[in-house]
Amino acid sequence: MPEPFSFRLIASDGMARRGEFVTPHGRVQTPAFMPVGTQATVKGLHPEAVAETGAEIVLGNTYHLMLRPGPERIAALGGLHKFMNWQRPILTDSGGFQVMSLSSLRKLTERAVTFRSHIDGTMFELSPERSIEIQALLGADISMQLDECLKLPATRDEIERAMKLSLRWAERSKRAFEGREREGYALFGIVQGGDDLGLRATSARELVDIGFEGYAIGGLAVGEPQAVMLEVVEETTPALPAERPRYLMGVGTPHDLLEAVRRGIDMFDCVMPTRNGRHGMAFTRFGSINLSNARHAHDPRPLDELSPHPAARTYSRAYLHHLTKANEILGGVLLSTINIAYYQDLMAGMRAAIADGRFEAFYAETMAGWTQGDIAPL
Amino acid sequence: MPEPFSFRLIASDGMARRGEFVTPHGRVQTPAFMPVGTQATVKGLHPEAVAETGAEIVLGNTYHLMLRPGPERIAALGGLHKFMNWQRPILTDSGGFQVMSLSSLRKLTERAVTFRSHIDGTMFELSPERSIEIQALLGADISMQLDECLKLPATRDEIERAMKLSLRWAERSKRAFEGREREGYALFGIVQGGDDLGLRATSARELVDIGFEGYAIGGLAVGEPQAVMLEVVEETTPALPAERPRYLMGVGTPHDLLEAVRRGIDMFDCVMPTRNGRHGMAFTRFGSINLSNARHAHDPRPLDELSPHPAARTYSRAYLHHLTKANEILGGVLLSTINIAYYQDLMAGMRAAIADGRFEAFYAETMAGWTQGDIAPL
């Protein structure tokens, strides 16, 4: 029998929290950053390399996997963990976000969203029940409810309509999840409400009434200023139960992570370390560094000689510049690895600082370090 | 003091040879296959992953590196071994082949070839002396003479003209190499002469008179049928000294390697395992397998459960099919790794068979195994 999902709060420092959750595939220390494994692979990295960065959990995308190769096929092959050779925890999103951002010919009804695949034009339907079914077929340790995620800015009426639909879908998601009796697995609800603090409060309250193993804040990092995002986070986390993990979806830059942990967030996912890595950008203690810049062409120094990750200590900036300019696969592979490793170092630093009651000092030191890079901290 | 370059013939079986050569960066067991590190990286692979396939030496391309980032820059950064984090032997080609195949506006004179970079249009000049200088700046354990490589078919006159120019360039290459006093490093001459056995014999005899640490057969695998290539190899190797390594440049398929070793070749390089891997093709004991074929979509079996390389044992054909169809970087990375590992296994199998005097049996078993794949052996 795997251990059932549970979350334990180990320490707090201001609003920042140090915790741990347990899943059928192992434990995860929080605050945690989840690398994104969109199509059953964290782009460019062997699963062993993902683990070596310190990552304890990855995210899989329901939208991409439902289109290709299909959840029934992955289930027949033994589930997503086996398929991608990652034996640690996996969280899957519900597919809602990518339906909105990637597919065409969407039609949203109370019952479901229908859409056309961006790959081959096939029509698909995604309901709360089907999303839960897909995530069960994949074998996700943590499933997410289906929600409707709007781009900001949007009108208050539109935000309210989407938030209320998401609440009704939350209830249906929970019933569907319970019907599957996946003992020890977890379902998270998603707070919506755009940049309207009143709607966010309503969403949080009603989700807590339904009751989930964890709570996400969705619909942020979709075009609004960072200050707006952080205000929503700061006002929303106190409305969520302290004994449940809190997940800020799709966020973000190292600076976003630092600020959001400071406001009570426990979990994150973002494509930024891999996507920016493929475009020649490194995230480091010294800020972000654009390796395609000619100033690095002669530079024999590694990105960070004190990094716990070998790739950041071994390869010269000149070599990473060369690989980036020559469009070599290894450039994207190394920078993606180095970036995820930096994100994991940052999370580990925050966890240690919270446990020691020195989060504010860590925050100040980290912010000061970032001013040494090529450009202002992202 | 590094050990000086030397070659030792350990065993022979028919024309097939088992040997070992020593370079300033270590020993190499022959017959050997050298993965190609075109732009200071074996495409997609960490240097540690290259070593884990069993490869003991890689090839670097003078043409690519002279254009970008430039040999003077690599020298200032400590040489190619340090630049690409590969501490084992490196052989560099002379640049001649890529000048002919990649650049435009070539002008060939007795003195040198001038050409326009395919990257940014800059004009470059490559003479035998400059090629040797570049290879010394890179720090190659084994340098190659500059030669003129023709595409086949070509007229006998044209082949003879190019062969004779290559001989004069061989002499100049040797004088330039000796002038640099790179104690312990090696220079190889290159037999030319197209598909004309008489011209090949002249080229081999005159090169041996000049005297090199090893001899390559160039100008093959440039469009001629396999039978023509093998006939040239079979007729040329007896004209080369037994106590020097013999290198068949730019070859080839697993079948080419097996046939060429059987005719006395000791060394190979080819982009095929990495290039074909990036296009979804796996080389295995069972022949070549095209993973983009839909028949693999549901197949839970690994490519080769008895492979000594974990990637060939771990990932299902269904997963490799998915990565290939989804154009995921990891697909090319895994298949490139698996293919280089298979090439190394094949070489190791040939080495053991020659040492045991059972090369013909190994040849027959290997050929029989290849008929089990998707398509006829390449």
Neighbour count for residue A2 (Cβ, 10 Å): 13
CA torsion sign for A23, A29, A30, A36 is negative
Inter-chain touch A326–B68, beta carbons under 8 Å: yes
Q: For residue A85, what pLDDT is reported?
A: 98
What is the distance between the alpha carbons of residues A96 and A142, in angstroms, rounded to a whole number?
A: 16
In a 3-state reduction of DSSP, which class is residue A193?
coil
List of chain A residues whose C-beta atoms are within 8 Å of the C-beta of residue B334:
46
List of chain A residues whose C-beta atoms are within 8 Å of the C-beta of residue B326:
39, 68
Annotate B13-80 with three-state secondary structure: ECCEEEEEEEECCEEEEECEEEEEECCCCCCCCCHHHHHHCCCCCEEECHHHHHHCCCHHHHHHCCCH
Burial B241-265 (b: 16+ CB within 10 A, else e): eeebbbbbbbbbbbbbbbbbbbbbb
Neighbour count for residue A35 (Cβ, 10 Å): 23
Catalytic residue annotation of B: 93, 269
What phi and psi values does residue A295 have, to the nearest 5 degrees?
Answer: -65, -20
Q: For residue A111, what pLDDT is reported?
A: 97
CA neighbor of A267 nearest in space, from A190, A326, A153: A190
**Single-letter amino acid, residue A365:** E
Q: For residue B263, what pLDDT is reported?
A: 98
What is the distance between the alpha carbons of residues A251 and A269, in angstroms, rounded to a whole number?
A: 6
Question: Stretch A188-216: mean pLDDT, rounded?
Answer: 98
The ipTM (two decimal places) reads 0.96
Name the strand (E) or helix (H) holding A261.
helix A254-261
What is the distance between the alpha carbons of residues B74 and B40, in angstroms, rounded to a whole number?
A: 10
Shortest distance, CA B77 to any CA of chain A (angstroms):
6
What is the distance between the alpha carbons of residues A17 and A347, in angstroms, rounded to a whole number?
A: 12
**Single-letter amino acid, residue B33:** F
A102 pLDDT band, cuts 50/70/90, is confident
pLDDT digits (tens, 9 = 90+) for B286-296: 999 999 999 99
CA neighbor of B251 nearest in space, from B284, B273, B277: B273
Q: For residue A138, what pLDDT is reported?
A: 98
CA neighbor of B113 nearest in space, from B102, B132, B129, B99: B99
pLDDT, averaged across chain B: 95
B374 pLDDT band, cuts 50/70/90, is low
Residue B1 has pLDDT above 60, yes or no: no
CA neighbor of A127 nearest in space, from A145, A141, A140, A142: A145
Residue A6 has pLDDT above 60, yes or no: yes
pLDDT, averaged across chain A: 95
Residue written as tokens 């010269």? Answer: A316
Beta bridge partners of A44: none
Nearest CA in chain B to A294: B69
CA neighbor of B134 nearest in space, from B84, B197, B201, B180: B180
List of chain B residues whose C-beta atoms are within 8 Å of the C-beta of residue A329:
41, 43-44, 329, 332-333
Inter-chain touch A333–B333, beta carbons under 8 Å: yes
Residue A72 has pLDDT above 60, yes or no: yes
Question: Stretch B165-183: mean pLDDT, rounded?
Answer: 96
Residues 6+ apart with CB under 8 A from B96: B113, B126, B131, B146, B147, B148, B149
Q: For residue B377, what pLDDT is reported?
A: 41
Q: For residue A340, what pLDDT is reported?
A: 98
Asked if B140 and B185 count as a contact pair (C-beta separation under 8 A), the reply is yes
Q: Is B6 on the interface with A (CB under 8 A)?
A: no
Q: For residue B378, what pLDDT is reported?
A: 42
Inter-chain touch B78–A300, beta carbons under 8 Å: yes
List of chain B residues whose C-beta atoms are within 8 Å of the C-beta of residue A68:
322, 325-326
What is the distance between the alpha carbons of residues B71 and A159, in angstroms, rounded to a whole number?
A: 59
pLDDT digits (tens, 9 = 90+) for B235-273: 999 999 999 999 999 999 999 999 999 999 999 999 999
Q: Higher confidence at residue A371 or residue A111?
A: A111
Residue B202 has pLDDT above 50, yes or no: yes
Q: Higher confidence at residue B171 or residue A378?
A: B171
Shortest distance, CA B281 to any CA of chain A (angstroms):
18
Q: For residue B2, what pLDDT is reported?
A: 54
Q: For residue B265, what pLDDT is reported?
A: 98
Name the strand (E) or helix (H) holding A126.
strand A123-126
Q: For residue A376, what pLDDT is reported?
A: 42
Alpha-carbon Rg for chain B in angstroms: 20
A207 pLDDT band, cuts 50/70/90, is very high
Q: Is A70 on the interface with B (CB under 8 A)?
A: no
A67 pLDDT band, cuts 50/70/90, is very high
Inter-chain touch B43–A329, beta carbons under 8 Å: yes
**DSSP-assigned letter for residue A144:** E
Shortest distance, CA B61 to any CA of chain A (angstroms):
14
Shortest distance, CA B293 to any CA of chain A (angstroms):
14
* List of long-range contacts for B110-113, beta carbons under 8 Å, 24+ apart: B110/B165, B110/B168, B113/B148
Residue A375 has pLDDT above 70, yes or no: no
A377 pLDDT band, cuts 50/70/90, is very low
Q: Least CB-CB distance to A83: which of B40, B73, B319?
A: B319
Question: Stretch A156-181: mean pLDDT, rounded?
Answer: 97
Catalytic residue annotation of A: 93, 269
A3 pLDDT band, cuts 50/70/90, is low
Q: For residue A104, what pLDDT is reported?
A: 80
Q: Is A361 on the interface with B (CB under 8 A)?
A: no
Residue B96 has pLDDT above 60, yes or no: yes
A62 pLDDT band, cuts 50/70/90, is very high
Q: Higher confidence at residue A376 or residue B36?
A: B36
pLDDT digits (tens, 9 = 90+) for A26-39: 999 999 999 999 99
In a 3-state reduction of DSSP, which class is residue A24?
coil
Residue A257 has pLDDT above 60, yes or no: yes
Q: Higher confidence at residue A282 or residue B153?
A: A282
Q: For residue A378, what pLDDT is reported?
A: 42
Q: Is B40 on the interface with A (CB under 8 A)?
A: yes
Question: Stretch B328-344: mean pLDDT, rounded?
Answer: 98
Q: Higher confidence at residue A150 or residue B284?
A: B284
A373 pLDDT band, cuts 50/70/90, is low
Q: Is B298 on the interface with A (CB under 8 A)?
A: yes
